[in-house]
Amino acid sequence: MKNRSDQGARRRAYVDTPKTGNAERGDFSCLPQGLGPAGAAHSVGNPRKASQPCCGCRLVLGPCRPQRDLLASCGQALKFSLTVCWNAFSRWAVRCMAAAGVPDLTFTDVLVLHHINHRGRGKKLADICFVLNYEDTHVVNYALKKLVAAGLAVGEKTGKEVFYSPTERGQQVAERYRQVREQCLIDSVNGELNPQIGELARFLRLMSGLYDQAARAATSL
């Protein structure tokens, strides 16, 4: 009888005790390398994937805390890399256009000129802003007026809309831009990087959608 009582007490104590899993024992092997506490056991050979934290880590760090910490750290690195790359790309586009013979265009002017040259058909202001992801239409409208004044673009009114297309000079400038790009940029890129560049382009499209959604969420706060 006494043995049965002891077994029942031990069973109730086990059920009532919070299950802290590996965390209470100091085993943070489910965390990504380097995220565990100093001195904590961190088994590299653990078959459990880093994307699947154990129950103990959820209790100690909160739900998906390792992933949030890792994403926050990577997000800071991504933000810095995007900033540096954006400024470098902007500078390159302006300098390349200057080498093509038109030194007075801004980065937005260059983007708009290339876009109205694309596919050889006229484009209206709203579509240009939509494709280039410009929220302020007046910025693109100013660039279009600047291109028209420089003789690089022409606007043709159809109904209530104005469709912009490149002039012959605008097409020639775009062609010279491509020649400078081939000489200064494309020739210096290793052909083995082509698959990586394609993957990077897909990743950046994904990130642009995430940033747009986050901006909408921040606006509603």
pLDDT at 66: 64
161 DSSP β-pair partners? 158
pLDDT at 73: 74
Q: How far apart are CA 171 and CA 117, in angstroms?
A: 7
Q: Between the CA atoms of 208, 210, 215 and 217, what dihedral angle is there, to the nearest 10 degrees?
A: 160
pLDDT at 175: 96
Residues 6+ apart with CB under 8 A from 59: 18, 20, 21, 23
Q: Exposed, middle or buried: residue 18 (CB in 10 Å: 0-12, 13-18, 19+)? A: exposed
pLDDT at 196: 85
- Three-state DSSP at 111 gives helix
156 DSSP β-pair partners? 163
pLDDT at 190: 74
Per-residue pLDDT of the chain (221 residues; tens, 9 = 90+): 555 555 555 555 544 544 444 444 444 444 444 444 443 444 344 444 444 444 444 434 444 566 666 667 777 888 899 999 999 999 999 999 999 999 999 999 999 999 999 988 899 999 999 999 999 999 999 999 999 999 999 999 999 999 999 999 999 999 999 999 999 988 877 777 778 888 989 999 999 999 999 999 999 99
Q: Between the CA atoms of 212, 216, 217 and 220, what dihedral angle is there, to the nearest 10 degrees?
A: 170
DSSP for 13-37 reads HHHHS---HHHHTTB-TTSPTT-SP
Q: Exposed, middle or buried: residue 200 (CB in 10 Å: 0-12, 13-18, 19+)? A: exposed
Cα 45 versus chain centre, distance: 32
